[in-house]
Amino acid sequence: MANARFETTFSFGRHKANCRVLCQACGHEIVVAPSAFYDVFPIPVTIKEAERRLRCTACGEKRARLIPMPMPMR
């Protein structure tokens, strides 16, 4: 898991990882489930591309940072 590679938005689903979406402009932060990416990006895009496209819901800037978060074990 530590060496899992996150290259596209579909990687989150494959690795069962939630994603922290952090706005580098205002610090607003949300956690999204992998399924949310399938809705926003039906075709996989690279993490870099997704970071460029996502707009902060708080301040409107496009300075997102995507950080993989492994789901807690149950």
40 binds Zn ion, rule: CB under 5 A: no
Q: Which helix (H) or strand (E) is 36 found in, with range? A: helix 34-40
71 binds Zn ion, rule: CB under 5 A: no
Q: Distances from the Cα of 9 to the Cαs of 18, 26, 36, 47, in angstroms?
A: 11, 23, 10, 6
The least CB distance from residue 33 to Zn ion, in Å, is 20
Among 19, 23, 54, 64, binds Zn ion (CB under 5 A): 23
Among 17, 21, 47, 56, binds Zn ion (CB under 5 A): 56
25 binds Zn ion, rule: CB under 5 A: yes
